[in-house]
Amino acid sequence: MADRPIKVLIAKPGLDGHDRGAKVLARGLRDEGFEVIYTGLRQTPEMVVSAALQEDVDVVGLSILSGAHMTLLPRIVAGLRTQGLDDVLVTAGGIIPDADVAALQEAGINRIFGPGTTIGQVAEYIRSNVRKADGE
Amino acid sequence: MSGAGTAPGGDLPGVTATGAERGRVLAERAAGGERLALARLLTEIENRTWAGEAALRMLYPRAGRAHLIGVTGAPGAGKSTLVAALVGEARKGGRAVAVLAVDPSSPITGGAILGDRVRMQSYAADSGVFIRSMAARGHAGGLATTSVAAAAVLDAAGFELVLIETVGTGQSEVEVAAIADTTVVVQAPEMGDEVQAIKAGLLEVADIVVVSKGDRPGAQRAASQLRAMLTVGAREDRAAAGRPRPKRPEVLLVSAVSGEGVVELLAALDRRFDREARAAGGADRPIDAQRLARAEAQLSGVLSERMADRLRDPRRAADLRAAARAVAAHEMDPYTAADRLLESL
């Protein structure tokens, strides 16, 4: 099933209410031919994990601007692993200081996209790194 | 691979086989309540794989117990909000609920924004609720081609209520009525005048019409107008006996924001389902006329899908091309050509 659409969950964990970026990205990825599940604001790590599981997504994209990324993002990765979703690509974007990037990657975030990243770059990264067609 | 446990890095722990075997394992685990297996099985169904089909064959005998509720209506009418409110109400009674939410795919890129979860996320982490979004993937009519199969899988997985939310529809996407036990049409109060209510199409297939946003001014009036127009001619006309008749829906006013009318809606849904089951004599798997008509519709849907698949089989490409050439040269008319191709299947 090489040409099945790639499914991406775009989630906003934490308490900031700024989802313009997440929506622009969701829209942009739609135009790149992805099926994008958008879950809205103020998601707990548990909500993000169960949405990723129920939707069986290939990618979880997390947008966070509140500064709580060091707490929330590792908890989401841990939750995904507990549920058996270790093959899901996890990316993050928003306001994440360079100093935190290494620690987050250590915690299992596959890629952090800073301000100025283009949608094309995100799409390209996903296409080249998403799990290969499973099963058959 | 061990039969169970959580082997890291794998697809689904313990599932490595391909095709039918993978389908069998997914079906067993999904029916046994494993949520990850259910999610992965739904992906197989969506992608129309052999694994998905093998699983469906196994699960079909277990389906037929859930109340399949179709929720349809125009974009922005309040379908997702209503579905979320129904989920909340059903959860108060401890009932397991699944939601299948269909959104449109881009005809240009194939991409989609599936945004129905936004209204339902408060139930995301509730283990008695399973929400799955589906892109229509080019299928017109308000659903995806694979929605029927996905609903059957959720049914077999033991959900008591399966809510199927369609794409935001126009006036005539009535497909959901062919797969749901009960069809709810959601209508926002600003629907236009009474003439809209007597036009053919969507409202005709409703078992229940919900006037949403019941807290808005004019909602009460819209509900009365609909009630008046939709119940016209409700008395059985003996001369028309045996002829197909549009349904005579109940009209309910609901405000999902205040919660007003949600209890009544769920009660109305339950009443309808009970009545249907009783009408069929309370058998284990009731078969009444409506159910039979739905099965017929599904069967002919699969039949045309299968025929189309076989016609598009690469081994048949030469026949198809030869026939097209004959039609293009006006040596043969398209009807004869089509008949010959069908006979050769």
Contact A30 B109 (CB under 8 A): yes
Say if residue B185's pLDDT is above 50.
Answer: yes
CB of B217 less than 8 A from some CB of A: no
Nearest CA in chain B to A27: B113
Three-state SS for A90? strand
- Which of A50, A60, A77 to substitute to test the interface with B, most B CBs within 10 Å? A50
Mean confidence (pLDDT) of chain B:
84
Could you give the count of Cα atoms lying within 13 Å of A9 in the half-sphere of its Cβ?
32
Q: B145 in contact with A at a CB cutoff of 8 Å?
A: no
Dump pLDDT digits (tens) for B261-293: 999 999 999 998 876 665 555 455 556 777 788
Chain B residues lying within 8 Å of A29, measured CB to CB: 111
> In chain A, which residues have their Cβ closer than 8 Å to the Cβ of B99?
none
Instruction: Point out the least confidently predicted range of B10-24, B118-132, B249-263.
Output: B10-24
Between B279 and B5, residue with greater pLDDT = B279
Tokens of B219: 């909602």
Q: Is B296's pLDDT higher than 60?
A: yes
> In terms of CA atoms, which chain B residue is nearest residue A42?
B121
Q: Contact, B257 vs B282, CB < 8 A?
A: no
Q: How sure is the predictor about B1, in pLDDT bands with cuts at 50, 70 and 90?
A: very low
Residue B15, pLDDT above cutoff 60: no
Q: Is the separation of the CB atoms in A31 and A123 below 8 Å?
A: no
Q: How many CB pairs under 8 A join A and B?
A: 112
Asked if A35 lies within 8 A of B51 by C-beta distance, the reply is no
**Residues with Cβ within 8 Å of residue B65, at least 6 apart in sequence:** B155, B160, B285
- In this predicted structure, the answer to whether residue B12 has a pLDDT above a threshold of 60 is no
CA B288 to mean position of chain CA atoms = 19
Residue A46: closest C-alpha in chain B? B125
Q: How far apart are CA B104 and CA B114, in angstroms?
A: 8
Task: Confirm if B134 and A35 have CB atoms less than 8 A apart.
Answer: no
Cβ neighbours of A34 in B, within 8 Å: 111
pLDDT for res A1: 38
Cβ(B161)–Cβ(B192) below 8 Å: no
**Residue B180 pLDDT > 70:** yes
When CB atoms are compared, the residue of A30, A53, A84 closest to B112 is A30
Query: First CA to last CA across chain A, in angstroms?
Result: 7
Question: Is B51 in contact with A136 (Cβ distance < 8 A)?
Answer: yes
Strand order in the sheet with B97-103: B129-135, B97-103, B161-165, B67-73, B182-187, B208-211, B250-253
Among chain A residues, the shortest Cα distance to B115 is held by A38
> At a CB cut-off of 8 Å and minimum separation 6, what does A134 contact?
A87, B11, B40
Q: What pLDDT, on a 0 to 100 scale, did the predictor assign at position B210?
A: 94
Tell me the mean pLDDT in the region A110-126: 93
**What is the pLDDT, as a whole number, of residue A113?**
93
The reply to whether residue B40 touches residue A56, judged by beta carbons under 8 angstroms, is yes
Structure letter (DSSP) for residue A115: T
Tell me how far CA of residue B9 lies from CA of A18, A82, A85, in angstroms: 34, 12, 8
pLDDT in tens, B44-68: 999 988 899 999 999 999 998 899 9
SS3 B57: helix
Statement: residue B36 has pLDDT above 70: yes
DSSP symbols for B287-314? --HHHHHHHHHHHHHHHHHHHHHHHT-G
CB pair distance less than 8 Å for B117 and A39:
yes
Q: Residue B29 pLDDT > 90, yes or no? A: yes
Q: Once rounded to an integer, what is the mean pLDDT over residues A106-116?
A: 92
pLDDT of A130 reads 93
Residue B18: list chain A partners with CB under 8 A.
135-136
Cα separations in angstroms, B216 against B82, B219, B255, B257: 15, 6, 9, 11
Which has the closest alpha carbon to A9: B138, B131, B145? B131
- Please tell me which residue of chain A has the smallest CA distance to B112: A35
Q: Shortest Cα distance from B298 to chain A (angstroms)?
A: 24
Q: How far apart are CA B181 and CA B291, in angstroms?
A: 7
Type of residue at B13:
P
Average pLDDT on A27-37 reads 95
How far off is chain B from A77, nearest CA to CA, in Å? 14
For B47, the closest of A4, A44, A47 (CB atoms) is A4
Contact B112 A36 (CB under 8 A): yes
Q: Give the model's confidence band at B344: pLDDT under 50 very low, under 70 low, under 90 confident, else very high.
A: confident
Of A21-25, B96-100, B304-308, the least confident: B304-308
Average pLDDT over residues B115-144: 88
B29, two tokens: 């685990």
Distance of CA B53 to the CA centre of its chain: 18
**Chain B nearest CA to A65, separation (Å):** 19
Tokens 């049914």 sit on residue: B155
Ordered domains of chain A (ranges, CATH):
7-127 (3.40.50.280)
Identify the pLDDT of residue B306: 84
**Residue reference for tokens 């969506």:** B46
Report the residue of chain A nearest B17, measured CA to CA. A135
DSSP B136-178: -TT--SSS-TTHHHHHHHHHHTT-SEEEEEPPPP-SS--GGGG
- Of B267, B17, B88, the C-alpha closest to B250 is B267
Collapsed DSSP state (helix, strand, coil) of residue B321:
helix
Torsion of CA A61, A66, A70, A73, to 10 degrees: -20
For the record, the structure tokens of A1 come out as 């099933």
Residues B105/B112, Cβ–Cβ less than 8 Å? yes
Q: What ipTM did this prediction achieve?
A: 0.90
Q: What is the pLDDT of residue B345?
A: 79
Say yes or no: B4 contacts chain A, CB-CB below 8 A: no
**Residue B103 pairs with which residues in a beta bridge?**
B135
Residue in A34, A54, A84 nearest the CB of B111: A34
Secondary structure percentages of chain A, helix, strand, coil, to 5: 40, 20, 40
Q: Please say whether the beta carbons of B77 and B186 come within 8 A.
A: yes
